[in-house]
Chain A
Amino acid sequence: GENVEQHPSTLSVQEGDSAVIKCTYSDSASNYFPWYKQELGKRPQLIIDIRSNVGEKKDQRIAVTLNKTAKHFSLHITETQPEDSAVYFCAASKGAQKLVFGQGTRLTINP
């Protein structure tokens, strides 16, 4: 079955700098790749997703890139702010099969 690896497990950046979180997946047939943000004590919430027919998607300060050949995708956050501090999870799935999550990245934005 699908396996998703996420790196790094923790990331600390200065406010205003960029943050990049990377994930690799094992099943080349996977076609849906969401990213979730989980703030302390809250539920995970979808922040951006990408499907396999596109290579990049942006939404204000966040973007996701997908390299199908290498089977990896990345989350990019620019101009980081304190409210970006959270745990971020990537995931992958294909068709109606279950979402498989990465292990999570704890992002800390230092003022």
Chain B
Amino acid sequence: GAGVSQSPSNKVTEKGKDVELRCDPISGHTALYWYRQSLGQGLEFLIYFQGNSAPDKSGLPSDRFSAERTGGSVSTLTIQRTQQEDSAVYLCASSFRDRGEAFFGQGTRLTVV
């Protein structure tokens, strides 16, 4: 079966523009994560969706960042009015509810110029 799929793989945008990053989790996975990884750095938690529960948004760095998950499946991470410091790889991961093991997508490399 297919793994976690993210699109686009690469995105170059001008400062001030809005971007949308997409994540297709593994079918049946109820949990979905978004992380940000700057070059050579660790995994910065952004947001966590688990089934029908309210999402854990505690990692979103500012109100320019938002995410939604439609129908318990596909998720979109939106960054408004992008800034150069938003440049990073954005990783999505999904897992079964109580199984714990998370599978990562290949990431979207965002470059703000």
Listed in ascending order, the chain A residues whose CB lies under 8 Å from chain B are 32, 34, 42-46, 49, 89, 93, 95-104
Compute how far the CA of A95 lies from the CA of B45 in the bound complex, rounded to whole angstroms.
18
A95 near B101: Cβ-Cβ < 8 Å: no
B7 at the binding interface (Cβ < 8 Å): no
B50 near A96: Cβ-Cβ < 8 Å: yes
B104 near A32: Cβ-Cβ < 8 Å: no
How many B residues face the partner with a CB closer than 8 A?
22
Compute how far the CA of A104 lies from the CA of B48 in the bound complex, rounded to whole angstroms.
20
**What is the total of A-B residue contacts with beta carbons within 8 Å?**
48
B33 near A99: Cβ-Cβ < 8 Å: yes
A36 CB, min distance to chain B CBs, angstroms: 8
A49 near B43: Cβ-Cβ < 8 Å: no
Dominant secondary structure of chain A at its interface with chain B:
loop
Q: Across the two chains, which residue of chain A brings its CB closest to B58?
A: A1
Can you add 16 more A-B contacts, CB < 8 Å, to A43-B107, A99-B33? Answer: A34-B101, A44-B91, A44-B104, A46-B102, A46-B103, A96-B31, A96-B50, A98-B31, A98-B56, A99-B95, A99-B102, A100-B45, A101-B42, A101-B45, A104-B41, A104-B42
